[in-house]
Copies of this chain bind each other. A is one copy, B any other.
Amino acid sequence: MEFLIPTRTSRPSDDPIFALNTEARARAAAGEAIINATVGALLDDEGRLSVLGSVAQTLREVPPNVGAGYAPIEGDASFLKAVVADVMGQRPEADWTVAIATPGGSGALRLAMADFLDTGQAALTTSYFWGPYRTIADELDRGLATFRMFDANGRLDGADLEHTLSAQIEAQGRALLFINSPCHNPTGYSFDADEWRQLAAIVGRAADRAPVTLLIDIAYARYGQRSLDEAVDALLGLAGRALLLFAWSASKSFTQYGLRVGALLAVHPDPEARRRIRSALSYSCRGTWSNCNAGGMAAIGRALTDPDLRARTDQERAALKSLLDRRVEAWNSLATDAGLRYPRYDGGFFTTVFCADAFAVAARLKEEGIFVVPQTGALRVALCSVAERDIPRLVQGIARHVTR
């Protein structure tokens, strides 16, 4: 007797990245010199998780009754206000912004996929994408389509985006576009101001024909070289034509991956449209996880708004970013010399090396003690988890095996 419904009977047993990470740690524990470039968290050069001490302290200071009580379904009001200010700053469009708390950025992506795309329709994202985008779509009986991310010059392929978006509107009468920048996972690519403007223009034209929702996944924004303001300024002109969403996460920006604090922001000038959107998202929360980590929201809200604490947090984060930036610099210097092909990379947790036979190459690298995550046509390299001193060996290993 099969109790699972038919779509769920043959789900994969294990997350492939998790399995690689487990193997890497086991071999390192057995004494081997392992480079584990699979972990999606920022580790220091001794392989320990980097944690912002000010945030950890703030969490311990949350009054017990605040953490123990239910937060409102849509999230703690002062936390949400702080997140809106974090993204929108002093712009008047902050008043156009609905914010709903979610368990991490994943929860925000899930809400968007559930409420702005119908069963059987497909979201659209870049040809290189974070695997769980597909998992979220699967779980909701939605699909995931892609457009070619890079053109011949290694920049946003606007022509393919416009063409694919147009075909989607033709086929399904609406579109939901996921864009992860700055510091795209897995490629490390960050749009520049021109690319943000190009994106806005393409989405604007599509939005004149059908409802188009544009979600910007900003999970890694604080580790980019360029300010998120470039994106916000370029995109706000869409508000009202397209629906503009931001998937915000405390996981990386506050090094609280396990806290499950995030938010979905929706920008729309019409109060009545905002009311409907807020109700739909809040109902989705109630019907999925009910409400979010109350103590986590209280602590992150304080870290965003208390001036002294915010200054301390920013300072500690700047030190972590420097650590990461030194790795990025070392990588760029060595990988360029070694002739590796990878997208423009100026900050963030990951980069991706183009590689024709990625799965076979990753397997060979693993034999040599170098763990990277293969996907079709590319190897994801998590510099966030590689010590600076290991980068020469990492680059040499990849260069030795990579196939063009």
Chain A residues in the interface with B (C-beta under 8 A): 1-13, 15, 18, 40-41, 48-49, 51, 53, 56, 59-60, 64-73, 103-104, 106-107, 110, 114-119, 132, 135-141, 174, 207, 211, 213, 241, 243, 255-260, 268, 273, 275-280, 282-284, 286-296
Beyond A106-B290, A136-B288, 11 extra complex contacts between A and B, CB < 8 Å: A3-B116, A4-B116, A4-B277, A5-B118, A8-B280, A8-B284, A11-B279, A15-B73, A104-B291, A119-B141, A139-B288
Cβ–Cβ contact B106 & A136, under 8 A: no
Task: Report the bound CA distance from A241 to B49 in whole Å.
Answer: 46
Checking B41, B117, B287 against A140 with a beta-carbon cut-off of 8 angstroms, the contacting residue is B287
For A255, the chain B residues whose CB sits under 8 A away are: 68
Known: A56-B68, A65-B51, A258-B71. A118 touches B6 (CB 8 A): yes
Task: Report the bound CA distance from A8 to B275 in whole Å.
Answer: 12
Closest CB of chain B to A26's CB: distance in Å?
Answer: 15
Task: Report the bound CA distance from A3 to B286 in whole Å.
Answer: 20
What are 12 inter-chain pairs, A to B, with CB distance below 8 A?
A10-B279, A13-B279, A18-B72, A56-B64, A56-B67, A59-B64, A67-B258, A71-B258, A103-B260, A137-B287, A139-B283, A293-B293
Cβ–Cβ contact A115 & B4, under 8 A: yes
Checking B280, B286, B289 against A9 with a beta-carbon cut-off of 8 angstroms, the contacting residue is B280
Closest CB of chain B to A166's CB: distance in Å?
Answer: 17
Checking B5, B68, B275 against A257 with a beta-carbon cut-off of 8 angstroms, the contacting residue is B68
Cβ–Cβ contact B68 & A287, under 8 A: no
Task: Report the bound CA distance from A254 to B64 in whole Å.
Answer: 12
For A273, the chain B residues whose CB sits under 8 A away are: 3
Task: Report the bound CA distance from A41 to B68 in whole Å.
Answer: 10
Checking B68, B103, B132 against A51 with a beta-carbon cut-off of 8 angstroms, the contacting residue is B68
Cβ–Cβ contact A286 & B135, under 8 A: yes
Task: Report the bound CA distance from A51 to B256 in whole Å.
Answer: 24
Checking B70, B104, B257 against A41 with a beta-carbon cut-off of 8 angstroms, the contacting residue is B70
For A291, the chain B residues whose CB sits under 8 A away are: 104, 258, 260
Closest CB of chain B to A291's CB: distance in Å?
Answer: 7
Most buried by B among A141, A243, A288: A288
- 3 A-B pairs with the lowest CB-CB distances in the bound complex, closest first: A258-B294, A139-B287, A106-B290
Cβ–Cβ contact B67 & A4, under 8 A: no
Closest CB of chain B to A398's CB: distance in Å?
Answer: 26
For A65, the chain B residues whose CB sits under 8 A away are: 48-49, 51
Known: A115-B8, A139-B287. A211 touches B2 (CB 8 A): yes
Closest B residue, CB atoms, query A131 = B286
Cβ–Cβ contact A213 & B3, under 8 A: yes
Closest CB of chain B to A395's CB: distance in Å?
Answer: 27
For A276, the chain B residues whose CB sits under 8 A away are: 4, 9-11
Task: Report the bound CA distance from A257 to B294 in whole Å.
Answer: 9
